[in-house]
Amino acid sequence: MTPPRMLRGCLYAALSAGLVASAAIAPARADASTPRAAATFSDTFDGPAGAGADSATWQTETGDNVDNHERQYYTASNANAALDGQGHLVVTARRENPAGYQCWYGSCQYTSARLNTAGRFTAQYGHVEARMKLPRGQGMWPAFWMLGNDLGQFGWPASGEIDVMENVGYEPATVHGTIHGPGYSGSGGIGAAYSLPSGQAFADGFHTFAVDWSPGSLTWSVDGSVYQRRTPADLGGRTWVFDKPFFLILDLAVGGSWPGDPDASTVFPQQLVVDSVSVTTGNTTT
């Protein structure tokens, strides 16, 4: 199933004008024939309970998401994203509107968090993974994904989007991996789904969601089981925009065009528990 949504990154209007464009540490676009130096990114979220994620690695966005019709307001509060003191980052969605946050439809009903590495870390090729335990319940929409670091220059979808993992609450046993680019974005994104055996849910324990990325190729896996590979041949002549630097994003959305709104069965707070995020890159040009 292809997610029937607009860009999860619509909050990037501000980033497009500033933070992404000023990402001075981002590697330059490499020629496919040029070996690239090995580099490793890893965050195991060690630190005292209640502390925020490392600000040298992650920045926290604030605001709502108009185009997806989401119901949350992303805050910079540690009540919505903080370490638990046991080696996890916990992103928490709460049913609240304590500060009178205004969303596209009026007063927001929920708060949550979204973090990204724009201006702090970008990757081009390699093994990108996150080990996480997902929330559960109607209306939940957790994701681990990437946006092209040239977003500020070209906008979305020309800059490209790689969804390593998305889940919607009404599919507790299924995750989706998708690419979006010019001519294949939103409901036209190209992707596939992976489902656990009957009776299991991604909220029951930790799972590893990964993409192996090389020039002209993206391969998705869950717990090491490959379920999808995409190359330029899958695009029907449209432009492949994934051979360049991307930055990472973690978020927990509530409601929206794809998952639908929470209902009476949805229990709050809900949590996306992130055990680790890592990117291992190297001479993948061969």
Q: At 112, which amino acid appears? A: S
Per-residue pLDDT reduced to its tens digit, 67-110: 788 999 999 999 999 999 999 999 999 999 877 787 877 778 89
Choice among 61, 129, 166, 171 that is catalytic? 166
**Has 166 been annotated as catalytic?**
yes
How far is CA 168 from its chain centroid? 13
Q: What is the mean pLDDT of residues 230-243?
A: 98
**Has 70 been annotated as catalytic?**
no
Distance CA 123, CA 129 (A): 12
In the chain, what percentage of residues exceed pLDDT 70?
84
Distance CA 252, CA 250 (A): 7
User: For residue 225, what are the β-bridge partners?
Assistant: 222
The reported pLDDT for the residue numbered 173 is 98
What's the CA angle centered on 134, arms 124 and 181, to 5 degrees? 35
Per-residue pLDDT reduced to its tens digit, 178-200: 999 999 999 899 999 999 998 89
Q: What is the mean pLDDT of residues 156-177?
A: 98
Predicted structure pTM score: 0.88
Residue 37: pLDDT over 60: no
Burial 166-179 (b: 16+ CB within 10 A, else e): bbbbebbbbbbbbb
Choice among 61, 96, 161, 171 that is catalytic? 161
The reported pLDDT for the residue numbered 36 is 44
Burial 29-38 (b: 16+ CB within 10 A, else e): ebeeeeebee
Third-level CATH fold of 12-188+209-281: Jelly Rolls (2.60.120)
